[in-house]
C-alpha cells in the first residue's frame, strides 16, 4: 500500500504477503499511540488469538516521538524513542499473533489538525484493504486530545466510504478515561477474563513506558478486574475481567450526527440516571 508518508510501515508477524495479511483482517483497531491498542483492545486480540477464521490488525497513527521518558530512556532523543516504540509495537504484534501491524508515523500535531486530509485518506485506504467486521478506536469522552482526534479522523474516514464498505460496528474504547460512568444500557461489555498471562505479556513489552514511570500494565489489568467486580451490585461476578466500549456506530452511518452532541447525549443520560436515583431515595 502507498501511504502519504514514506516512513509508514506495515509489519506482518508471520511474513505473509501484505495484501493477503490485510485482507484476512476481521477485527481492526486504530489507535493514537504505541501501547494504546493493547490497553483498549484486549478483547478482540483474545478473540482472534490462534483462530484460523478471525484475525486482528492494529494501526498506530502517531510516531511516538513525544512520549515522556525516564530511567534507561531518559537521554533518548525523539528519533531514538520513535525507534524504541516501533520496536515495542512489533513485539506486541508478535506476542498477540496479529494479522498485521501498521504504523502511519504522523506527528500528533497533524492528527489534531482537522484540516489535514492525509491521515483520513490513509485510513480510508486501510479500511478498504482490510474490510473489518468491527473497528475499535478511542472513545469520544477520552481526556487525551490526540486520542479524541484519532476517533474523529476514524469517523470521518468511515463516512467517506460507501455503506457496503463500512464495518458492522464502530466501538470507542477505554484508555485515558474509563467508561464506568456510562449507564449500563449504553455500555458495550467486552469480556477479557481469558489469557491473563497473554494480556500481561502484551502490556509488558512496552518497557519504555513502564520503566519511564507509568505502570500501564498494572493499571490496565486492575481496571479490567475492577470493572468486572463493580458492574453488578446485587450479583456475583460473571467475569474476572471486563472492558467497556462506547458504541459509535451511529456516527459512521449518519453524517448528520454531530460527534460532540452524540457524546453529550451519553453524558446527559448518565446525569439523568444519577438525578433520578437521588430523587427516588430522598
Block means of pLDDT (10 residues each) for the chain, length 282 residues?
A: 95 97 98 97 98 98 85 88 96 98 97 97 98 98 98 98 98 97 97 97 95 90 96 85 98 97 98 97 96
DSSP structure class, residue 164 = G
Predicted local distance difference test score (pLDDT) of residue 25: 98
Beta-bridge partners for 161 = none
**Sign of the alpha-carbon dihedral angle for 219, 59, 135, 25:** negative
Counting beta carbons within 10 angstroms of the beta carbon of residue 32, is it exposed (0 to 12), middle (13 to 18) or buried (19 or more)?
buried
The pLDDT value given to residue 68: 74
**29, 136 in Cβ contact below 8 A?**
yes
Environment class of 217 (CB within 10 Å of its CB; exposed 0-12, middle 13-18, buried 19+): buried
pLDDT at 194: 96
Report the pLDDT value the prediction gives residue 73, as an integer from 0 to 100.
Answer: 85
In the chain, the domains with their CATH numbers are 9-174+181-256 (3.40.50.10320)
Amino acid at each position: 500500500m502507498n501511504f502519504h508518508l514514506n516512513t509508514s510501515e506495515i509489519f506482518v508477524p508471520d511474513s505473509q504477503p501484505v495484501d493477503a495479511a490485510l485482507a484476512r483482517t476481521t477485527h481492526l483497531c486504530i489507535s493514537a499511540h504505541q501501547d494504546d491498542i493493547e490497553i483498549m483492545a484486549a478483547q478482540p486480540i483474545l478473540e482472534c488469538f490462534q483462530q484460523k477464521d478471525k484475525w486482528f490488525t492494529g494501526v498506530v497513527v502517531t510516531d511516538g516521538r513525544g512520549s515522556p521518558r525516564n530511567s534507561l530512556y531518559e537521554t533518548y532523543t525523539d528519533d531514538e524513542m520513535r525507534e524504541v516504540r516501533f520496536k515495542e509495537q512489533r513485539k506486541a504484534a508478535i506476542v498477540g499473533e496479529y494479522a498485521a501491524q501498521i504504523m502511519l508515523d504522523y506527528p500528533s500535531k497533524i492528527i489534531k489538525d482537522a484540516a489535514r486530509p492525509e491521515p483520513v485518506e490513509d485510513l480510508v485506504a486501510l479500511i478498504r484493504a482490510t474490510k473489518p467486521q468491527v473497528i475499535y478506536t478511542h472513545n469520544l469522552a477520552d481526556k487525551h486530545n490526540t486520542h479524541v482526534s484519532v476517533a474523529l479522523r476514524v469517523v470521518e474516514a468511515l463516512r467517506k466510504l460507501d455503506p457496503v464498505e463500512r464495518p458492522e460496528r464502530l466501538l470507542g474504547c477505554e484508555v485515558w478515561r474509563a467508561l464506568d460512568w456510562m449507564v449500563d444500557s449504553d455500555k458495550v461489555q467486552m469480556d477479557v477474563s481469558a489469557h491473563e498471562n497473554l494480556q500481561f505479556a502484551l502490556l509488558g513489552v512496552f518497557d519504555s513506558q513502564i520503566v519511564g514511570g507509568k505502570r500501564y500494565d498494572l493499571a490496565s489489568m486492575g481496571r479490567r478486574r475492577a470493572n468486572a467486580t463493580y458492574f453488578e451490585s446485587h450479583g456475583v461476578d460473571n467475569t474476572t475481567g471486563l472492558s467497556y466500549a462506547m458504541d459509535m456506530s451511529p456516527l459512521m452511518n449518519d453524517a448528520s450526527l454531530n460527534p460532540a452532541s452524540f457524546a453529550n447525549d451519553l453524558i446527559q443520560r448518565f446525569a439523568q440516571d444519577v438525578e433520578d436515583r437521588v430523587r427516588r431515595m430522598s
